[in-house]
């Protein structure tokens, strides 16, 4: 299975640890942060154990202002609870884009941000995975984050295709899907795109996209494909009901569509 081809990198820079800073002096850059959830912050404030707050991650910009990179909900909770200071880890000399990358690194192994927040922050950081994904979506007149005629709701699914197989495969995936089923919310279903992307990622050198789209359409609409995928996945039992197995089921159906009418020696094994 291909390894992830995108990584997050930062230059060496100075960091101060364990610095006590006034809560009122901190700023938020929404382009380098997830969306603040006021209810979550209030819940933290209502149940706060001050000694267990930990440190927030800050960036000290060239003008001396301090911007929160990670920990905005704890910062907001302190403000709500009337706590005047918070301990901080302060990073020096980072650009806005590097702040966004630091946010992604800090959250990789902890409470992950929503995929759409990670996507937008990644764009701010200029992270190739997100930039390449955005470029392909823009080429197709699509946005990421909500399901619609011109929107792909499967954020994680789209990013996974790019991460595993590259942006060119994601580009071809969208082309094949639209070629088969036109532009609709059903066309951009995450299971369908995942299956097409996996098929093209593995066998793309042997496949003509127009022919694949035509054969897929001959097997039914996007809605029919989705129904069949769910049906086959559920027949596999509880352990086969997850998103991963549904993408695999979609992949097998795409392979079956491609193999239809082909001689045995020219078929692709699913």
**pLDDT tens per residue, range 17-41:** 999 999 999 999 988 877 888 999 9
Question: How far are the Cα atoms of 1, 161, 165 from residue 129, in angstroms, in the given order?
Answer: 18, 10, 11
Q: Tell me which residue of 231, 222, 218 sits closest to 195, measured CA to CA.
A: 222
pLDDT band at 111 (very low <50, low <70, confident <90, very high): low
Mean pLDDT of 161-190: 96
58-77 pLDDT per residue, tens: 999 999 999 999 999 999 99
Predicted local confidence at residue 46, as pLDDT: 92
The pLDDT score that the predictor gives to residue 241 is 42
Say which range, 100-109, 140-149, 182-191, 208-217, has the weakest mean pLDDT: 100-109
pLDDT band at 5 (very low <50, low <70, confident <90, very high): low
**Summary mean pLDDT of the chain:** 90
Q: Quick one: average pLDDT of 153-180?
A: 96
Residue 166's pLDDT band (boundaries 50, 70, 90)? very high
Q: What is the 3-state secondary structure (H, E, C) of 93-151?
A: CCCHHHHHHHHHHHHCCCCCCCHHHHHHHHHHCCCHHHHHHHHHHHHCCCEECCCECCE
**81-85, 196-200, 242-246, 255-259: least confident range:** 242-246
- Which pLDDT score is estimated for 32? 81
CA distances from 199 to 3, 161, 195 (A): 16, 11, 6
pLDDT of residue 243: 52
**pLDDT the model gives residue 110:** 63
**Residues in contact with 60: Cβ distance below 8 Å, sequence separation at least 6, in sequence order:** 66, 90, 91, 92
- Under the banding of pLDDT at 50, 70 and 90, the label for residue 237 is very low
Residue 118 has pLDDT above 90, yes or no: no
Model-level pTM greater than 0.75? no
pLDDT band at 239 (very low <50, low <70, confident <90, very high): very low
d(CA 53, CA 77): 10
């Amino acid at each position: 299975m291909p390894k992830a081809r995108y990584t997050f990198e930062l230059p060496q820079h100075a960091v101060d640890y364990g610095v006590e800073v006034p809560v009122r002096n901190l700023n938020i850059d929404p382009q380098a942060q997830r969306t603040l959830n006021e209810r979550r912050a209030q819940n933290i404030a209502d149940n706060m154990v001050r000694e267990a707050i930990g440190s927030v991650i800050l960036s000290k910009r060239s003008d001396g202002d301090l911007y929160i990179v990670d920990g905005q909900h704890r910062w907001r909770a302190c403000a709500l609870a009337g706590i005047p200071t918070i301990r901080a880890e302060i990073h020096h000399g980072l650009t806005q884009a590097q702040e966004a990358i630091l946010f992604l690194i800090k959250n990789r192994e902890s409470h992950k941000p929503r995929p759409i927040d990670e996507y937008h922050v990644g764009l701010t950081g200029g992270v190739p995975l997100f930039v390449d994904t955005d470029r392909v979506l823009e080429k197709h007149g699509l946005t990421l984050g909500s399901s619609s005629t011109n929107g792909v709701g499967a954020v994680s699914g789209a990013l996974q295709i790019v991460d595993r197989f590259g942006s060119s495969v994601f580009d071809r995936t969208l082309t094949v899907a639209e070629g088969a089923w036109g532009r609709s919310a059903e066309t951009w279903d995450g299971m369908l795109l995942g299956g097409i992307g996996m098929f093209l990622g593995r066998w793309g050198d042997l496949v003509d996209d127009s022919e694949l789209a035509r054969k897929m359409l001959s097997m039914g609409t996007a809605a029919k494909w989705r129904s069949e995928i769910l049906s086959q996945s559920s027949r596999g039992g509880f352990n086969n009901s997850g998103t991963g197995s549904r993408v695999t089921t979609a992949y097998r159906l795409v392979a079956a569509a491609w193999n239809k009418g082909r001689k045995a020696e020219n078929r692709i094994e699913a």
